[in-house]
Structure 1
Amino acid sequence: MLLLVNFLLAVFTPTLCDIISHAELVAQDPAFHIKFPKPILPSDGISASLVGHLEELGLQSPPIGQIPEYFHSPTPRELWDTQVKLYRPAVYRGMLNGSPAVGNWTHDEYLIKEYGDQEVLVEKKFEDRKSEPKRMTIEAFLKNYKEQNWYIVTILPNAMRKDVKVPKPLMCSSFNKNLQELNLWVGTHGTRSKLHYDADNIIHCVVAGRKDWILINPEHKPKLDMVWGAKGQGSGFSHLDVDNVNLTENPDVSDIPWEYVSLYAGDCLYLPPQYLHQVRSYNRSVSSTFLFYPRDTFSDDDCKELDLDSYLSLSDVYVYWVYEQGQETVDMGYQNPVNVRRNTVATLRAFGIDTMSWKEFLYVAYMTYGEEIFGMSAVIKNLFKGFDIDGDQIISIEDIENMDIEKWKDFCRATDSPHGPTKSELSINDEKSEKSPEFNPRDNDYYRDVKMARRFLNFIVKKHGRKNLLLFPEFKNYVETVNDTPESAFVLLDSNMDGVLSRDEIEHTSDVSIRKFARMGYIYTVNKKLHGGGPWEDVNVVEGDKEEQKVSNFPDEVKFIEESIQKGYEAVKSSTDNKMDKTEFINLFKDHMSEEILKPVDFDFLFRILSSSKEYATPKDFEEILFEPEETPDAQENDNEPVVKKDNSDRNIHKRKGFIGVLDAMQGIYTFQRASEERLERLRKRQSRKEEL
């Protein structure tokens, strides 16, 4: 035994010293005695399927283990090879040790003296996602937080960055060049998050206190009652009550594998993008978080001349989103401006065009942001003017790539709401600041999918049932599901299992069951434009019978135009030179489509997208519009190859998808303009009548 001990000391002395030092620091924490994960106690007379019913998350099944644990700080290459590329979380003990914050930030007096005038965003420490954050100074927070349900979740003020060192893996490489934002977390007397996920790679470091984490692979999201979200949305959370898990409504929770880790002062957790996690703390805790944007590629060429064991302050690195004292907005949660720029360039390259006019730029903006662009037209115009350096009303890919990143940040701010109150909004009411302990409600509808699904079902029962009752055969005739069968959908809704669906059953079916129905993707067979739901991350909902009447009387322009493209393809294939010029292309539509349908269509731009030569279109050009590309799997099929989480937003937009998207943009912009003109005309007539009277 003595020989074994001597061998371990000789070979692993540095690591053992680190472990002993870390253990001493951990033992000093007031929450050290708390057991995590909590043991699952045997329950006499309770079915195994209900173990942990109405208990906190983690008591439904034991964990599969702790995430990988290291007692050294990795180089950027090591973090990429062992965790990022493999899409695996890990904990690095003591990685933030050496930062002045570890020690200084333990004391409220220090924070008040040095940074008391810095403004931060404050949320509820028992997170509910239903309340708007407050905005106040650090001093105001620290003088009240022990008595209030308050928790700092904010951008780390620039003034505080000097107290924090840059973790070794972020000192250089692609990670360093893609630092999205830095966050500060401060709370006391316990905090608890929802089960959620974030868009970026995260290194979360505890500066003071302790935090316990439950981690779940995102492949299990469909079983966890996730909140409705748009396709491609980077972050989100679950409806699950993590303090009171209802297994009768969420039976799959017991079967979901999960891992855990406890973080203490100096410890850092690497968390991949979109990895589900739920966090608890018990006493006073302070954390600093580093968010860096996920990329599919990695380079550490700039690390060769850098001493990775040296001290690098956070004040000496560039971060996209920061907070300077007095700033109007606390810039938290915005898109990555470099990625927005890359996507714009990728769109143009997918279209095969190098330049855009103002109107064409508007089409591309509509494709990305939909009708929201009508509320930020001034910002889009300013962005276009910023690109158009020579004032010729035309911008190029080179103009877009050379634009100052601050202009792109202005665009990101305009296309998203601030995470918390702006400085000028603080006087609106006391709930926006420390003047009131209460919070304003957050203006988000996390139950929209449920409302739309209920509206759809009520419409079906009212339209096709008898006395507000719908038999299963009739349900099957009028409802299709994309991701399951109508039989499975009906079983979810028919609570008394009598083969009849009533409006009363629809209203009293639980939200969880209605969400499960919505995620099946429902379609009205009489008019397939009346549909909704889909996978948890891709919800497209329309409303009841008024909407059904509207879509049934409105012509499907995209369908008509695709039919014309098909005819053009057949015509150009049968022509002697296999070519079609722009005039012939326009005549394709004019020959069999009404002038009203053609009004929104910008044929010049469509032809530029269609024609690779910009002078004439060939059969190959038509094929790129008419036929879907071959799908390329995201992950390697070889089990021995690492799986990299793909950055879908960086993929080039295929020409077919872009062509259809532009058609939709043209229709949307034209419809908005027409509605605006009609509204102005009504106002003019109303004013004229007033003058006559």
Structure 2
Amino acid sequence: MEMMNLNQILFPFFAICVLIGSFQCLVDTKTPRGHLQPFGSHADPSVITDELDTVPNSLKFYENYVKPQKPVVFRGAAKQSRAYHEWTEEYLINEYGDLTVRLEARHEGNKDIPPGEGGLLGRDTVKHFIENYQNIDGYIISQVPGPMERDVSIPPCLLCGTFTNGIQEVHLFLSAGGGKTLVHQDPYENIHCVFNGTKKWILVHPDQTDLIYLSPSSLEEFGGYSLIDVDAVDLIKYPKIQQVKYAILTLNKGDCIYMPSGYLHQVRSNGLMNSAVAIWFSFFTKSHPFEGADCNKDLEFKPMSEVDVLWKFDGYNDLQQGHMDIYVLKTVLLTSADKNGQIWLDKFTKHFIQFEDEDEDTADYCDNIRHQFCDILDPNGRGYVTVGEVKELSIDMLKKLLLTFDPTDVSNTVEFEYSHIAANDIIKLATHLATIGPDPGFHGDEFINRYVTDIGGTPEKAKEILTGLGADETGLVTMEMVQKNIGKAVEKFKTARHHDPTVEHLWFEHLKKHGELE
């Protein structure tokens, strides 16, 4: 049989492609638009976002934007804050230089968190940060420190009705040289205001969530993020991105935007100095509706220092950011009542207050947390509370209940490095260095360098580990010393608290099942 040449093989195939009008056949050499380019390059923006020159009153804000979960830009609203007029590098250093703030990597998704003044991972002073922020790979994302509150004004749309009891926390953003986020969704409602620089936003409606490739954990949480690389979207690996319809807008100095909870967005910051705040407030559920029939009135902007915010930060001690929503706790309680309107606390706590690492060794500790919760809510030991009693719980009582199982996140404390660095990584590094060294071991300065560059820790903690091994930065560490002392040397890393999403997953699943998140 005579062998056919390549043209004889391919001609019928191309003929079929022409006949059916298809541009994608078995061999398709056309590269999708936007492949390996920044997110948003796959198509032109086709969604329009409302823009207003004034901030509506609370009732109109709720009816027109919060209830339908619709973003809106408030042009010029941030000009009402003193920060818009005063925040320069010199002003921030002179007025607030000694305040403590929380640091993250400049680009969201980067796990290498920079150290600040004093060598503490993820913490810095305002002065030290501003003196170095043009060169370090980090930015401030921190609760607004107490003394700064006078410079940040809360928009009047949040100053009436249920909004007034639902402002959870206010975040400060301060960066230089640009920064970016992943495509993500926040767990709270959010009004974001820019005081310096600009921010480019890409917005994607939640009804396109199935096109965004959320991480597996994000499907079980109130917030979440996409797996795509926002700088170079792989449209071969993530082809559904090509179908995403989006809005694009720029917030200039002085502008604010309302971003609904769960609304997908991606942000890029620009400017020699970029400063902003994000006001996080509770979202509404069927069991936590908006109440404010008398809120159809115009109010004035008010400094944060004169407004009730659930979680505040004094600027010196541990931060209180990132707590779960007390009104979600209240909703979970209300929707767990039996037909008689009673919530049985033993059943409730065993089901809704669980922990990822709960086992025989931690059983007593976990039971103690559940008992604390019950004792606070039911001091008379009846074993239950009623729906009516839950509805009457004060904000302080709800916060006290929440803190029993959702204490201050370790990333908000000076102990952060112990939870950020895995003990096993330290053990592997020390063992590896002791094995390959030309001497019978390794020198302390070599360990310090590798601990910082390979693991992402600080020299201060590396020296602490060396002390636990029985050496210093100039001394020799032998394999015998590693084998004998490594357990003691990494004890704080082994026992440090870690973020545990188990409770959030349980609550999220419960509220979805009961239709509270619709």
The TM-score with structure 1 as length reference comes to: 0.52
Q: CA deviation at 1:244?
A: 0.8
Closer, same or farther: CA 370–380 of 1 in aligned 2, 3 Å = closer
Does the 8 Å contact 2:220/2:505 carry over to 1? Answer: no
Does the 8 Å contact 2:104/2:140 carry over to 1? Answer: yes
Structure 2 residue 293 is matched with structure 1 residue 293: no
Counterpart of 1:51 in structure 2: which amino acid? R
Does the 8 Å contact 1:338/1:405 carry over to 2? Answer: no
Closer, same or farther: CA 97–293 of 1 in aligned 2, 3 Å = same
Q: CA deviation at 1:204?
A: 0.7
For residue 276 of structure 2, give the secondary structure of its aligned residue in structure 1: strand
**Partner Cα separation in structure 2 for residue 102 and residue 163 of structure 1:** 8
Q: List aligned pairs for 1:393-432, cutoff 5 A.
A: 394-397=383-386, 400=390, 405-416=395-406, 418-425=408-415
Q: CA deviation at 1:100?
A: 0.7
Structure 2 residue 360 is matched with structure 1 residue 377: no
Give the match for residue 534 of structure 1.
Answer: none
Give the match for residue 71 of structure 2.
Answer: 89
Q: Going by fraction, where is strand more abundant, 1 or 2?
A: 2
Q: List aligned pairs for 1:349-368, cutoff 5 A.
A: 349-350=337-338, 352=340, 354=342, 356=344, 361-368=345-352
Does the 8 Å contact 2:101/2:315 carry over to 1? Answer: no
Structure 2 residue 108 is matched with structure 1 residue 116: no
Structure 2 residue 213 is matched with structure 1 residue 229: no
**Partner Cα separation in structure 2 for residue 199 and residue 157 of structure 1:** 22
Structure 2 residue 327 is matched with structure 1 residue 343: no
Closer, same or farther: CA 98–399 of 1 in aligned 2, 3 Å = closer
Q: List aligned pairs for 1:3-402, cutoff 5 A.
A: 50-105=32-87, 107-128=88-109, 130-131=111-112, 134-229=122-217, 232-283=220-271, 284-296=273-285, 297-303=289-295, 308=299, 310-328=300-318, 330-347=319-336, 349-350=337-338, 352=340, 354=342, 356=344, 361-372=345-356, 374=363, 375-390=365-380, 392=381, 394-397=383-386, 400=390
Does the 8 Å contact 1:134/1:431 carry over to 2? Answer: no
Give the match for residue 442 of structure 2.
Answer: none
For residue 261 of structure 1, give the secondary structure of its aligned residue in structure 2: strand
Q: CA deviation at 1:157?
A: 1.8
Relative contact order: is structure 1 or structure 2 higher (C-alpha 8 Å, sep ≥ 6)? Answer: 2
Does the 8 Å contact 1:131/1:439 carry over to 2? Answer: no
Closer, same or farther: CA 221–438 of 1 in aligned 2, 3 Å = farther
Closer, same or farther: CA 82–412 of 1 in aligned 2, 3 Å = same
Give the match for residue 41 of structure 1.
Answer: none
**Partner Cα separation in structure 1 for residue 206 and residue 97 of structure 2:** 39
Does the 8 Å contact 1:195/1:277 carry over to 2? Answer: yes
Q: CA deviation at 1:184?
A: 0.8
Give the match for residue 675 of structure 1.
Answer: none
For residue 217 of structure 2, give the secondary structure of its aligned residue in structure 1: coil
Does the 8 Å contact 2:57/2:298 carry over to 1? Answer: no
The TM-score with structure 2 as length reference comes to: 0.68
| CA deviation map 1:135-185 (0-9, x unaligned) | 222222222211101111111122211111121211212222211211111
Counterpart of 1:78 in structure 2: which amino acid? K
Gaps of 5+ in 1: 1-45, 443-537, 541-646, 655-693
Counterpart of 1:345 in structure 2: which amino acid? L
Q: CA deviation at 1:289?
A: 0.9
**Partner Cα separation in structure 2 for residue 350 and residue 231 of structure 1:** 28
**Partner Cα separation in structure 1 for residue 247 and residue 193 of structure 2:** 18
Does the 8 Å contact 1:192/1:280 carry over to 2? Answer: yes
Closer, same or farther: CA 299–244 of 1 in aligned 2, 3 Å = same
Counterpart of 1:108 in structure 2: which amino acid? E
**Partner Cα separation in structure 2 for residue 160 and residue 101 of structure 1:** 9
Does the 8 Å contact 1:152/1:186 carry over to 2? Answer: yes
Closer, same or farther: CA 49–366 of 1 in aligned 2, 3 Å = farther
**Partner Cα separation in structure 1 for residue 405 and residue 454 of structure 2:** 25
Q: CA deviation at 1:186?
A: 0.5
Q: CA deviation at 1:539?
A: 10
For residue 122 of structure 1, give the secondary structure of its aligned residue in structure 2: strand
**Partner Cα separation in structure 2 for residue 437 and residue 145 of structure 1:** 19
Does the 8 Å contact 1:212/1:279 carry over to 2? Answer: yes
CA RMSD between the two structures: 3.3
Closer, same or farther: CA 407–61 of 1 in aligned 2, 3 Å = same
Does the 8 Å contact 1:214/1:258 carry over to 2? Answer: yes
Q: CA deviation at 1:424?
A: 4.7
**Partner Cα separation in structure 2 for residue 377 and residue 262 of structure 1:** 50
Closer, same or farther: CA 404–383 of 1 in aligned 2, 3 Å = farther
Counterpart of 1:389 in structure 2: which amino acid? P
Q: CA deviation at 1:215?
A: 0.6
Gaps of 5+ in 2: 1-27, 114-120, 423-450, 458-503
Counterpart of 2:195 in structure 1: which amino acid? V
Q: List aligned pairs for 1:568-579, cutoff 5 A.
A: none
Q: CA deviation at 1:269?
A: 0.6
For residue 204 of structure 1, give the secondary structure of its aligned residue in structure 2: strand
| CA deviation map 1:406-452 (0-9, x unaligned) | 453344344347445344516859999xxx9979779xxxxxxxxxx
**Partner Cα separation in structure 1 for residue 237 and residue 298 of structure 2:** 54
**Partner Cα separation in structure 1 for residue 327 and residue 291 of structure 2:** 17
Does the 8 Å contact 1:116/1:137 carry over to 2? Answer: yes
**Partner Cα separation in structure 2 for residue 175 and residue 426 of structure 1:** 33
Closer, same or farther: CA 226–355 of 1 in aligned 2, 3 Å = closer
- Percent identity over paired residues: 25
For residue 128 of structure 1, give the secondary structure of its aligned residue in structure 2: coil
Closer, same or farther: CA 121–413 of 1 in aligned 2, 3 Å = farther
Give the match for residue 437 of structure 2.
Answer: none
Q: CA deviation at 1:317?
A: 1.5
Closer, same or farther: CA 424–210 of 1 in aligned 2, 3 Å = closer
**Partner Cα separation in structure 2 for residue 439 and residue 80 of structure 1:** 49
Does the 8 Å contact 2:93/2:130 carry over to 1? Answer: yes
For residue 147 of structure 1, give the secondary structure of its aligned residue in structure 2: coil
Does the 8 Å contact 2:369/2:405 carry over to 1? Answer: no
**Partner Cα separation in structure 1 for residue 410 and residue 168 of structure 2:** 18
